[in-house]
Amino acid sequence: MTTQFNQEKFVALENASRDEIMALQTKRLAWTLKHAYENVPFYKRKFDEAGVHPSDFKQLSDIEKFPFTEKKDLRDNYPFGLFAVPREKVSRIHGSSGTTGKPIVVGYTQNDLDIWANLVARSMRAAGAKSGMIVHVAYGYGLFTGGLGAHYGAERLGCTVVPMSGGMTERQVQLIHDFKPEVIMVTPSYMLALLDGFVKAGLDPRKSSLKYGIFGAEPWSNAMREEIEDVFDMDATDIYGLSEVLGPGVAQECVETKDGLHIWEDCFYPEIINSDTLNPVEDGVKGEVVFTTLTKEAMPIIRYRTRDLSRLQPGTVHQGMRRMEKISGRSDDMIILRGVNVFPSQIEEALLATDWCAGHFQIVLSRTGRMDNMTVVAEARPEHSSEEKWSQYSRNFVRHIKGTVGVSVNLQIQKPMTIERSMGKRKVIIDNRPKD
């Protein structure tokens, strides 16, 4: 394959000029389109239906002729249908929430994993981390890309990695106190839970060893950055990524400017589109972020509609790569609860699989202290309206959601006809969280 990893070239690209990056993108996009077309029947069919062929791609703007890919396409090709290499060449599988019960599946060759580790190492360097530092990784390990993605990046940078994963807050606080890591990689919301853990343990967070926090996997505001930086006396930067495209390490904020996230454009081609017209918009205009991978072998992805909203701006620290403004929201109804992606359709599917609920429900989001909570309010069918079994239904449902989606939710069962019926588009999500 043409993308065989070369460390020296990779490091040099970080400081390449805009022209150099664009020339590289043109070359790599041509390779990716051909690779996808020749090896993934799904892409061949889509391109043929749209009347385009990889040979129609001659310059960067030609990408607009090619069809988009969406989450549904990953679901429809579950589990391995989008792989562009024989399964034996896939070294690792990861997964993320789909819009229904089944996760979406992504795969990496050894070369893909190598590039990923280097992208995370590059992101960590941009965030202030250096070889030799201790890194506490509190992103979840497992199918989620956060834990292992951060882990191998930190090792690649030459750090000492503490693979904590999520949960067990008291123990996390204890080990941060004892091991004295300079760097922490965690969702911003869990960082706030760790803060509570520090206070509970009678420890002053400002005196902790932590100097650099690399936070992502969910939206967070600049106000939250200020709070975290202040209470921990640390630098906090934003890391972005998504399973379909890579995992963490697609874009990263630089510690010296904290002015949005440089997209690693040697490996990803970004576009911003208007979600209604699907037409690309100019740099500077807000819209939906779309990515095409430029080096991925196992699962190249063409024009993936992320549903994340942002806008592109010129590079600052890295002149050749554009920046993406902090993600300001999504164009769909995905909720990110404590770092886990949850779709209302997953809740609906689980409710409809019970025999006590006919599918009338609402999702209420609230915040207690620093933690976001989700309460599913669901109506019992008339024949299940006596309350004696409700607590059992509730326990089963909560366990099921924890087991399938991976988050703890509350369930509140109500009598029939107590949830307001919609006159048009139903309002499923009621967000009572304070706006910060």
Nearer to ligand DLL, 176 or 251 (CB): 251
Nearer to ligand DLL, 288 or 348 (CB): 288
Q: Which of 73, 112, 114, 218 is close enough to bind ligand DLL by CB under 6 A?
A: 218
> What are the residues facing 273 on neighbouring strands?
280, 288
Is 337 a binding residue for ligand DLL by CB under 6 A? The answer is no
Of 243 and 295, CB closest to ligand DLL: 243
Q: Does 217 bind ligand DLL (CB under 6 A)?
A: yes
CA distance 247 to 142: 12
**Crossing angle of the two packed helices 110-126 and 145-157, in degrees rounded to 10:** 70
127 or 327: CB nearest ligand DLL: 327
Contact stretch for ligand DLL (CB under 6 A) within 193-201, 204-212, 237-245, 386-394: 237-245
Report how far residue 157's alpha carbon sits from residue 122's, in angstroms, rounded to the nearest whole number.
8
**According to the binding rule CB under 6 A, does residue 243 interact with ligand DLL?**
yes
Site for ligand DLL (CB under 6 A): which residue of 103, 181, 197, 247?
247
Interaction of residue 153 with ligand DLL, rule CB under 6 A: no
Nearest to 117 by CA among 82, 158, 89: 158
Region of 78-86, 171-179, 242-250, 269-277 interacting with ligand DLL (CB under 6 A): 242-250
The nearest distance, CB 180 to ligand DLL, in angstroms, is 23
270 binds ligand DLL (CB under 6 A): no
Tell me if 69 contacts ligand DLL by CB under 6 A: no
Q: Which helix (H) or strand (E) holds 193?
A: helix 188-200
Q: Name which position in 66, 139, 393, 397 contacts ligand DLL (CB under 6 A).
A: 139
Q: What is the CA radius of gyration of the chain?
A: 22
Report whether 287 contacts 274 (CB < 8 A): yes
Give the residue at shortest CB distance from ligand DLL.
Answer: 216
Q: How many residues belong to the site for ligand DLL (CB under 6 A)?
A: 23
Beta strands 183-186; 134-137: pairing state = parallel
List Cα–Cα distances, 256 to 226, 253, 301, in angstroms: 15, 9, 32
Residue-by-residue DSSP string for 130-162: -TT-EEEE-SPPSSSHHHHHHHHHHHHHTPEEE
Cβ-Cβ contacts under 8 Å for 283 (sequence gap 6 or more)? 272, 311, 312, 313, 314, 322
Among 239, 267, 342, 413, binds ligand DLL (CB under 6 A): 239
CB 334 within 8 A of CB 342: yes
User: Is position 242 an interface residue for ligand DLL (rule: CB under 6 A)?
Assistant: yes
Does 205 sit near ligand DLL (CB under 6 A)? Answer: no
> What residue ranges bind ligand DLL (CB under 6 A)?
96, 139, 144-146, 216-219, 238-243, 247-248, 306, 308, 327, 330, 336, 341
